[in-house]
Amino acid sequence: MKNLFKALAEFQQEVPVIFKGTTAGSGNFAYQYTDLPAIFKVINPLLQKHGLGFTQITEFKDGHDYLVTILFHVESGQTMETRLRLMPDVELKGQNIFQSYGSQLTYFRRYGISQILGLVTDKDTDAVGETTKKKPFPNERFETGMNMVFKGEITKDQFIKAINGFTLTPEQTKQIEAL
């Protein structure tokens, strides 16, 4: 792994912060993110320079779908990988199940490659103590999460971690306490 880690460390010393530049949604629901083409435009020349490459594939394992991001050192063949669990039964408003799955793949591709390469694609607010107003947790997503807990697809602790940072309604709080 020596060659891979050395090349990755050199890559990380050179790769800049990749700022958000794409806006999605509208009005109060607008948000910005760094899209895949923007990420690839920055990282591809640096990956080549440092003898690195990656691929992303889907894998079905233990009854679940995963997006697997594999980082490799071209010359030595050394690899490392990360897996992000997909949720194929999640449907996004206004999209059929196939469109929702495609959106999820794109989302996880961004985060998989950012994670394995150590990319910074956002302003770091953790270290500077900035706070933001907590948003209400959407009831539809809350119900989906509760159903996943009841089906044994996720644990109560995993669900609580996922809703951390959101404001819950009194009814949602009662449901969590009843788990």
Residues 6+ apart with CB under 8 A from 152: none
DSSP state of 66: E
Domains recognised in the chain with CATH numbers: 1-123 (3.30.390), 133-179 (no CATH)
Q: What is the pTM of this model?
A: 0.64
One digit per residue, the tens of pLDDT, for the chain of length 179 reads 999 999 999 999 999 988 776 555 555 555 566 888 889 999 999 999 999 999 999 999 999 999 999 999 999 999 999 999 988 777 777 888 888 888 889 989 999 999 999 998 765 544 444 445 566 767 777 787 787 788 877 778 777 777 776 778 888 888 888 87
DSSP state of 174: H
Using CA atoms, how far residue 56 sits from 66, 82, 108, 140, 177, in Å, is 10, 10, 10, 30, 39
The whole-angstrom separation of Cα 70 and Cα 161 is 27
Which amino acid is residue 7, in one-letter code?
Answer: A
